[in-house]
A and B are shown apart, each in its own frame.
Chain A
Amino acid sequence: MSTMKPSKPLSFAVLGFGYAFLYLPIVLLVIYSFNESKLVTVWSGFSTKWYWALLEDDELINAALLSIKIALMTATAAVVIGTWAGFVMARLNRFRLFPLFAGMINAPLVIPEVIQGISLLLLFVAMEQAFGWPEGRGVFTIWIGHVMLCVSYVAIVVQSRVRELNRSLEEAAMDLGARPLKVFFVITLPLISQALVSGWLLSFTLSLDDLVLTAFLSGPGSTTLPMVIFSRVRLGLNPEMNALATLFIIVVSVGVVAGNLYMRSVQRKRDREMQLAFNQA
């Protein structure tokens, strides 16, 4: 049996190197956001002045507010459509065009964003010519684009959750006379709520972070946060961006870790209750 265990030192070395690679850049970014010097890579003293500079940067603040608005809209719409699509994938997958349907769900996961960007843009331009709508590009077109980006993730999370559901609860409700739609909203949806929450959060961050698709689909007056960040960092290092990145990282890390711990405890509680219910039955 002792040969079965992977060697401890090797395991520590591999994981240590891997996590250092993943985290060192982020740690350096955070440390140097407190650097006084404008030269980001030369330490000259502790200062929080770049954080104060952020507060006075109207361009950045407006872009951030717009990005948050779009991300909220995107996450909500993506969860609705994605859950619908994921449910079809898991339960109603016996129709003729199913391979096409599955393909349209899976392809956006990997397809380069420049491809999706230009194709959606051409669609909106063609639609404007044909129906006069949508007029120009802006929040609406970005929203649709972001929803397309996120729907696949939500659908896949939801479909795998629906597949592992124990169907007896739904069948029981059906036997007691509930109509399919009611079963879905009263039984299925609460059971997969965890998947919906992670789908929503994932969509929110994907939307908040998207640059390429947004660049194609935005118009005058709809400049999002990643577009502002990109236009500044392509010129090189910028201490204000370090400060912004640090804020972003703190919020996300706290959110993800807290969410993860919460979900684990909910899951454990639910497993226990289900076990209890089935044991009694």
Chain B
Amino acid sequence: MKSLNFSRWFPSGRTTVIGVPFLFLFVFFLLPFLLVVGISFSQQQLGIPPYTPLTKIEDDVFTLVLNIGHYKFMLGDDLYFATYISSVQMAFVSTVLCLLIGYPMAYYIARASESARDTLMMMVMLPFWTSYLIRVYAWIGILKNDGFLNQFLMWLGVIDTPLRLYHTNWGVYIGMVFSYLPFMIMPLYAHLVKMDLRLLEAAYDLGARPWKAFVQVTLPLSKNGIIAGSLLVFIPAVGEYVIPELLGGSDTLMIGRVMWDEFFNNMDWPMAATVTCAMVLLLLVPMALFQHYQAKVMEEVK
């Protein structure tokens, strides 16, 4: 009987199986966020760590000091505001461009013969497996003033003076679309390939023109794919650092870059934490949407 009582002190097998990965994710994913929020309310100082503690106990008095200076500064500063707007705008334009290129591609891959589909999808995924940094780097040689694109266009005689693309927002758009295109195509393809083609047949039989059938049948059926793909592109694009740093100009304002500079160049950890909190706030709604659609996809599989 004693051993029975004893076993109560140990969690059941089921709890352990759930608890271990749960704890891991909690400690290394959620807890760090709470720390970021905390440190955004502290003050920069020289030393290790380079920020002041929020709480102290002195003469039996517990004091909590919350410095809202960083938030006030951020709200009052035009440059920060411009950066937020610009990040969202650049991510949005990149997402739309990805959709405009990715949708037709996903559509025709899904309608290709069954044997061709796997190979075509593998070719979409292949660049994703090669280094992201190298793929962004590859565009420098193309976009530079004396790069391949300008050489080619001038040889064609389309332009006489080179287009300025490298170190401009155009460079960032091209780099983003190039890097994130596979993320757009994957969910779109997954939705388009399992579509019941008899629905289209029915639409045609009832006299719909191809364009109308597409707008009224195919497009609504791939709605979830469009949303999932757009979120997979938009959310990481808002905080992108590498692409604006390598292909953008010094006037390309992106929040990920500002946060990086605060952290590595100014060594202002609390300010970097504040910028991070603002970024999370900005992404809260798209993230919740993403979570909602992921849950839906899982339900469908079941």
Question: Which residues of A come within 8 Å of B, CB atoms?
Answer: 1, 3-6, 10-11, 14-15, 17-19, 21-26, 28-29, 32, 40-42, 81, 84-85, 87-89, 92, 95, 97, 99, 101-116, 118-120, 122-123, 125-126, 129, 144, 147-148, 151, 159-160, 163-164, 180, 202, 205, 208-209, 211-212, 215-216, 226, 229-230, 233-234, 236-237, 241, 244-245, 248-249, 252-253, 255-257, 260, 264
Output the least CB separation between B214 and chain A (Å): 10
Sampled A-B contacts (24; CB under 8 Å): A4-B201, A4-B204, A15-B105, A19-B123, A23-B127, A24-B142, A25-B135, A28-B138, A41-B148, A84-B21, A92-B18, A103-B291, A107-B287, A107-B291, A112-B241, A112-B283, A119-B35, A122-B36, A126-B35, A151-B25, A163-B302, A209-B133, A256-B129, A257-B122
Where chain B touches its partner, the secondary structure class is helix
Chain A residues with Cβ below 8 Å from B14 are 92
User: How many Å lie between the Cα of A100 and that of B238 in the bound state?
Assistant: 24
Stretch at the interface among B55-63, B64-72, B75-83, B271-279: B271-279
Chain B residues with Cβ below 8 Å from A32 are 141
Output the least CB separation between B105 and chain A (Å): 4
Chain A residue at smallest Cβ distance from B146:
A41
How many residue pairs, one in A and one in B, have C-beta atoms under 8 Å apart? Answer: 244
The answer to whether A110 touches B49, judged by C-beta atoms less than 8 angstroms apart, is no
User: How many Å lie between the Cα of A83 and that of B78 in the bound state?
Assistant: 46
User: How many Å lie between the Cα of A250 and that of B200 in the bound state?
Assistant: 42
The answer to whether A114 touches B200, judged by C-beta atoms less than 8 angstroms apart, is no
Contact of A28 among B18, B148, B178, B263 (CB under 8 A): B148
The answer to whether A112 touches B133, judged by C-beta atoms less than 8 angstroms apart, is no
Chain A residues with Cβ below 8 Å from B36 are 115, 118-119, 122
Chain B residues with Cβ below 8 Å from A260 are 118, 122
Output the least CB separation between B210 and chain A (Å): 6
Please encode chain B, from 98 to 139, with 1 for each CB lying within 8 Å of some chain A CB and 0 for all others. 000100110111011000001010111111011111110111
Starting from the known contacts A28-B138, A88-B18, A115-B279, 9 additional A-B residue pairs (CB-CB under 8 Å) come to: A5-B111, A14-B107, A18-B181, A25-B142, A104-B30, A106-B290, A114-B239, A229-B133, A252-B130
User: How many Å lie between the Cα of A18 and that of B241 in the bound state?
Assistant: 25
Q: Tell me whether A180 and B13 are in contact in the complex, defined as CB-CB below 8 angstroms, given that A29-B134, A118-B272, A233-B133 are known contacts.
A: yes
User: How many Å lie between the Cα of A88 and that of B118 in the bound state?
Assistant: 29
Chain B residue at smallest Cβ distance from A164:
B301
Q: Does residue B28 face the partner (Cβ distance < 8 Å to A)?
A: yes
Chain B residues with Cβ below 8 Å from A255 are 129
Which 8 residue pairs across A and B have the least CB separation, nearest first? A112-B239, A119-B32, A25-B138, A85-B21, A110-B235, A104-B25, A123-B32, A245-B134
User: How many Å lie between the Cα of A245 and that of B130 in the bound state?
Assistant: 9
Please encode chain B, from 227 to 269, with 1 for each CB lying within 8 Å of some chain A CB and 0 for all others. 0000110011011111001100000000010011001100001
Question: Which residues of B come within 8 Å of A, CB atoms?
Answer: 13-14, 17-18, 20-22, 24-33, 35-36, 39, 49, 101, 104-105, 107-109, 111-112, 118, 120, 122-127, 129-135, 137-142, 144, 146-148, 151, 178, 181, 197, 200-201, 204, 210, 231-232, 235-236, 238-242, 245-246, 256, 259-260, 263-264, 269, 272-273, 276, 279-280, 283, 287, 290-291, 294-295, 298, 301-302
User: How many Å lie between the Cα of A237 and that of B145 in the bound state?
Assistant: 13
Chain B residues with Cβ below 8 Å from A163 are 298, 301-302
The answer to whether A14 touches B105, judged by C-beta atoms less than 8 angstroms apart, is yes
Contact of A118 among B20, B137, B238, B273 (CB under 8 A): B273
The answer to whether A26 touches B130, judged by C-beta atoms less than 8 angstroms apart, is yes
Contact of B120 among A15, A123, A160, A244 (CB under 8 A): A15
Chain A residues with Cβ below 8 Å from B127 are 22-23, 26
Chain A residues with Cβ below 8 Å from B105 are 14-15, 18
The answer to whether B236 touches A230, judged by C-beta atoms less than 8 angstroms apart, is no
Chain A residue at smallest Cβ distance from B143:
A25
User: How many Å lie between the Cα of A154 and that of B245 in the bound state?
Assistant: 30
Output the least CB separation between A31 and chain B (Å): 10
Chain A residues with Cβ below 8 Å from B242 are 211-212, 230
Chain B residues with Cβ below 8 Å from A22 are 123-124, 127, 178, 181
User: How many Å lie between the Cα of A226 and that of B241 in the bound state?
Assistant: 14
Chain A residues with Cβ below 8 Å from B124 are 22
